[in-house]
């Protein structure tokens, strides 16, 4: 005796038998990712395009010469307008005292922009502001300041290396 109920149950079992290997196979990539994460530890912290452990090279022509800075991302900390590679107090102190070699990267999620700033010789500071984060190397506006006054503008490129 084979009624409609038996036929329906047979179809369900056959469907499950066909789909089970597909379902199990679809879990393999997730299991692989989880195993890699467990093996390598958690991913480094990120804020927009900035990732802890990266180093960015920023270059650009300004005031008749080319400038270059290497900006490391040792950490990412919350600041008033986003996330930066150093805290706001250290940044303000370094720029106010003209601490040569000091640099900072800042990501602003509201504006979707990244800014690289550094202190050079003779109390000269540079800022590369990138407002379009579409493709590397990033293109932006370079500003040179002395004593808090803008003395020149130019263009800049920013690219990262691991």
- Position with higher pLDDT, 48 vs 26: 48
At 16, the pLDDT band (50, 70, 90 cuts) reads low
Interval 106-128 mean pLDDT: 96
- Position with higher pLDDT, 11 vs 157: 157
pLDDT of residue 154: 98
pLDDT of residue 39: 72
pLDDT of residue 13: 59
Q: Are 104 and 83 in contact (CB under 8 A)?
A: no
What DSSP string describes 84-146? ESS-HHHHHHHHHHT-TT-EEEEEETTTTEEEEEEE-STTEEEEEEE---SSSSEEEEEEEEE
**Cis before 137 (ω within 30):** yes
Per-residue pLDDT tens digits for 84-115: 999 999 999 999 999 999 999 999 999 999 99
Average model confidence (pLDDT) across the chain? 86
């Amino acid at each position: 005796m084979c009624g409609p109920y038996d036929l329906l149950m047979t179809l369900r079992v056959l469907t499950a038998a066909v789909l089970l290997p597909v379902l199990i196979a679809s879990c393999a990539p997730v299991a692989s990712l989880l195993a890699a994460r467990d093996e390598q530890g958690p991913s480094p912290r990120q804020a927009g395009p900035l990732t802890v452990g990266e180093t960015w090279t920023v270059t650009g022509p300004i005031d008749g010469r080319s400038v270059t800075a290497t900006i490391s991302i040792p950490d990412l900390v919350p600041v008033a307008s986003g996330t930066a590679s150093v805290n706001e107090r250290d940044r303000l102190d370094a720029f106010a005292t003209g601490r040569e070699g000091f640099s900072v990267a800042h990501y602003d999620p509201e504006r979707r922009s990244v800014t690289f700033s550094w202190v050079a010789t003779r109390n000269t500071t540079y800022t590369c502001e990138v407002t379009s984060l579409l493709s590397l190397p990033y293109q932006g506006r370079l500003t040179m300041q002395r004593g808090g006054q803008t003395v020149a503008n130019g263009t800049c490129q920013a690219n990262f290396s691991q």
